[in-house]
Amino acid sequence: MAWSPFLICDNHYRDNHLSAWVGALVQRKIIAICIFVIIIGRRRRFTVSKPEPLPLDAQLCFQLYGATIAINRAYKPLLDGLGLTYPQYLVLSTLWEADGQTVGKIAERLALEPSTITPLVKRLEQAGFVARRRNPEDERQVNVSLTERGRAIRADTACLTDTLLRRSGFAVDDLIALNAQVRKLRDALSSGEA
């Protein structure tokens, strides 16, 4: 190919425009990468931020709390008729499972502090449902046993289960399954495995 001043100009023009075009492309890529890094960084910051709290109706703890209140309201007239409060009923239920327990064992079974159980046991003793005796081997321990009246009232509390079944509309098997699930949840949360 013969030498031509136009060829030099064309090559020079082409090289200048090509380098300008490549330079612009590189600048655009750098800008795009910077924008991408900024967006990703912001997304990461947004995903790390705290999620919105769930509405009350979507929170399991609120549903369990509400169900407990509803059960206590259903039981209250029946327990009033027996001269018991719900916490006193729980103490008696613990003793119906195994009579002759210490205040500490009753507290452990009900996941309460012994200082919460002591006044309940005193009131149950005043009502004639239980008897308290200091452990002769360890004066710090108080043994609690059912009296004849405390054993006899157990049959009268069967109405509580009947009321729960009737008011809930659940089948017996459904309530048993629900109880098992709630107990499993409680145990997992209590042991720290959940």
Which tens digit of pLDDT belongs to each residue from 10-33? Answer: 544 444 444 444 455 456 555 655
Residue 125 sits at φ, ψ, to 5 deg, of: -65, -45
Tokens of residue 43, six digits: 């997304």
Q: What pLDDT is attached to residue 123?
A: 97
Does pLDDT of 74 surpass 90?
yes
Angle at 107 between CA 104 and CA 110, to 5 degrees: 150
Does pLDDT of 54 surpass 60?
yes
pLDDT digits (tens, 9 = 90+) for 141-151: 889 999 999 99
- pTM of this structure: 0.70
| Cα atoms in the Cβ-side hemisphere of radius 13 Å centred on 40 | 6
| Cα atoms in the Cβ-side hemisphere of radius 13 Å centred on 85 | 9
Lowest mean pLDDT among 42-46, 144-148, 187-191: 42-46
Q: What pLDDT is attached to residue 5?
A: 47
88-152 is classed CATH 1.10.10.10: yes
Tokens of residue 34, six digits: 């910077």
Q: What percent of the chain has pLDDT over 90?
A: 61
109 or 192: which leads in pLDDT: 109
Burial annotation 143-165 (CB, 10 A radius, 16+ → b, else e): bbebeeebeebeeebeebeeeee
